[in-house]
Chains A and B, each alone.
Chain A
């Protein structure tokens, strides 16, 4: 019954949110939620990236040209959230993956081993700048950049969430 009431309340809330209220909608600061198999779930905002080591990756985008992307390693972000990386990435933890989701619903995954600096030198970063400029609106404010990967399909734009999970 509680669940049923909850559903009803959600419905009432949704009815109150009329599309005509568009102009009255308050803007919120974009962020990336880190959840799932973490000890410290958190939301990362633009200012938070400054506390991590800054990394640059040069790679081609769909335009076929090299660009310089700046940001922080996913490895560092996830370590702070308490993800089992580094010395803890062993045993069953090697069956974990990061599901990255964008605001347009697009999703990609990386295994934790792909992100771990003790496994690979390939940098996978959460970038907020390209060629020393903030990312374009349609790409940012946060985009995953995968060093050296031939196709850009996992360089997911407009990232909003990272969920760590076990493969079942």
Chain B
């Protein structure tokens, strides 16, 4: 066993600099009393993968938020320390720096507030923050690391969640093929104006170009196939059967460069949802079955889908919106009568259109994000014992 702490363990100093594209915007969320530091992020990463934060030392945050799955776990519901399953599907941890409401029901207003909930839930990690702090305090590794971050060796629950929140804010995914497309300033303007008809004309012209009429600079920048571009057009277009306009209008809730608008909707999964969603918190019948609209960044990697993990594939998700939408009273206004056929209650896409949408969704996959060593489990390659 190696020594518990050595001077070779270089804990970085200074303020942590978030790096992200300008088109993501600067409406970022940091707690005023918890600005990110390099040392705090360093500690937070270790705590994220620290199984001692669970009652039987078997689970860490990383158990249900695996990097290779864009920080999900591939399960419908997640098994906790007591062997029972969580109430809802583990959410992807992607671009949380811009998230103002956490969880499927948005109940938590900060990552600091969010981080403690799964830790103390008896059906998840099942351990009080004070017990976690005590365990870490008794190691020879953590007190010295907490000193590097907070100035003294005291391990507290508050300090644990603060460091975790700092690390989670660094999980920025902005290196997909879609980002290559967005990097063209002209195209960014197009995406910002998703309902601008000129933009649709533009994409149509790109589509024609991509079909072989011409090759120009736009295509080189976009680097998306004709199928993917057609999928993007559908994604961004509201259907209007009376005008012959076909679309899937995904962008209404999943639009913008981050593919995340922090909205909460009932998307017609059930006529009467078994899980009341936000209504449990608000007591409003219009919130029944209403859940967070998640980011679509890396959506290819985060199956199964929906709050209860009911859909195993993107094909099943598209089938839901295209063919099987229920019409509960609390169905989002933006999904009512959204259809490519007059009087329809679901999108009614053609089979080729479904494939095009999925082709576009796969351009949101960021292969560097899931392999970035800054986000990986440090204990798998650690030189230092954390005993």
Q: What residues of chain A have their CB less than 8 Å away from a CB belonging to chain B?
A: 1, 3-4, 7-8, 10-12, 14-15, 17-23, 25-28, 30, 103-106, 136-139, 157-158
Is B333's CB under 8 angstroms from A21's CB?
A: no
Question: CB within 8 Å of A: which of B104-127?
Answer: 106-107, 112-113, 116-117, 120-123
Is A19's CB under 8 angstroms from B87's CB?
A: yes
Is B120's CB under 8 angstroms from A25's CB?
A: no
Chain B, residues 135-170, CB within 8 Å of chain A (1/0): the string is 000000000000000000000111001000000000
Q: Give every chain A residue within 8 A of B336 (Cβ-Cβ).
A: 138
Is A106's CB under 8 angstroms from B263's CB?
A: yes
Q: Give every chain B residue within 8 A of A8 (Cβ-Cβ).
A: 116, 120, 128-129, 157
Q: Give every chain A residue within 8 A of B276 (Cβ-Cβ).
A: 19, 21-23, 25
Is B286's CB under 8 angstroms from A18's CB?
A: no
Given contacts A19-B274, A103-B286, contact A139 B333 (CB under 8 A): yes
A18 to B280, CA, bound (A): 8
Chain B residue with the shortest CB-CB distance to A22:
B276
Q: Separation in Å of the A18 CB from the closest CB of chain B?
A: 7
Listed residue (B129, B261, B283, B333) with the most chain A CB atoms within 10 angstroms of its CB = B333
Q: Give every chain A residue within 8 A of B278 (Cβ-Cβ).
A: 103
Q: How many A-B contacts at CB < 8 Å in the complex?
A: 101
Can you list 18 residue pairs at the A/B interface with Cβ under 8 Å?
A1-B156, A4-B129, A14-B117, A19-B276, A22-B276, A22-B279, A22-B288, A25-B280, A28-B282, A28-B284, A103-B282, A103-B286, A103-B287, A104-B263, A104-B332, A105-B262, A136-B333, A138-B331
Q: Give every chain B residue within 8 A of A106 (Cβ-Cβ).
A: 261, 263
Chain A residue with the shortest CB-CB distance to B265:
A104
A27 to B282, CA, bound (A): 8
Q: What residues of chain B have their CB less than 8 Å away from a CB belonging to chain A?
A: 87-88, 101, 106-107, 112-113, 116-117, 120-123, 128-129, 156-158, 161, 261-265, 273-288, 290, 329-333, 336
Is A30's CB under 8 angstroms from B284's CB?
A: yes
Q: Separation in Å of the A109 CB from the closest CB of chain B?
A: 12
Q: Give every chain A residue within 8 A of B333 (Cβ-Cβ).
A: 136, 138-139, 157-158
A3 to B290, CA, bound (A): 29
Is B283's CB under 8 angstroms from A27's CB?
A: yes
Q: Which of B120, B261, B282, B286 contacts A11 (CB 8 A)?
A: B120
A157 to B334, CA, bound (A): 11
Is B283's CB under 8 angstroms from A17's CB?
A: no
Secondary structure at the B interface, as helix, strand, loop or mixed, is loop
Is B116's CB under 8 angstroms from A11's CB?
A: yes
Q: Give every chain A residue within 8 A of B261 (Cβ-Cβ).
A: 105-106
Chain A residue with the shortest CB-CB distance to B115:
A7
Q: Give every chain B residue within 8 A of A139 (Cβ-Cβ).
A: 333
A94 to B284, CA, bound (A): 35
Q: Separation in Å of the A135 CB from the closest CB of chain B?
A: 10
Is B284's CB under 8 angstroms from A22's CB?
A: no
Q: Give every chain A residue within 8 A of B332 (Cβ-Cβ).
A: 104, 138
A18 to B121, CA, bound (A): 12
Q: Separation in Å of the A3 CB from the closest CB of chain B?
A: 6
Chain B residue with the shortest CB-CB distance to A28:
B283
Given contacts A22-B276, A25-B276, 11 further A-B contacts (CB under 8 A): A7-B158, A11-B116, A21-B276, A21-B280, A22-B273, A22-B280, A26-B283, A105-B261, A105-B262, A106-B263, A137-B329
Q: Give every chain B residue within 8 A of A27 (Cβ-Cβ).
A: 283-285
Q: Give every chain A residue within 8 A of B128 (Cβ-Cβ).
A: 8
A30 to B287, CA, bound (A): 11
Q: Give every chain A residue within 8 A of B331 (Cβ-Cβ).
A: 138
Q: Give every chain A residue within 8 A of B288 (Cβ-Cβ).
A: 22
Q: Give every chain A residue within 8 A of B158 (Cβ-Cβ).
A: 1, 3-4, 7
Q: Give every chain B residue within 8 A of A14 (Cβ-Cβ).
A: 107, 117
Chain A residue with the shortest CB-CB distance to B284:
A30
Chain A residue with the shortest CB-CB distance to B288:
A22
Q: Which of B280, B282, B286 contacts A19 (CB 8 A)?
A: B280
Is B281's CB under 8 angstroms from A17's CB?
A: yes
A138 to B262, CA, bound (A): 18
Is B283's CB under 8 angstroms from A105's CB?
A: no
Q: Give every chain B residue within 8 A of A157 (Cβ-Cβ).
A: 333
Is B285's CB under 8 angstroms from A158's CB?
A: no
Q: Give every chain B residue within 8 A of A23 (Cβ-Cβ).
A: 276
Q: Separation in Å of the A52 CB from the closest CB of chain B?
A: 23
Q: Which of B122, B281, B282 contacts A15 (CB 8 A)?
A: B122
Is B275's CB under 8 angstroms from A19's CB?
A: yes
Q: Which of A1, A10, A25 contacts B283 (CB 8 A)?
A: A25
Q: Separation in Å of the B333 CB from the closest CB of chain A?
A: 4
Q: Separation in Å of the A37 CB from the closest CB of chain B?
A: 19
A158 to B265, CA, bound (A): 12
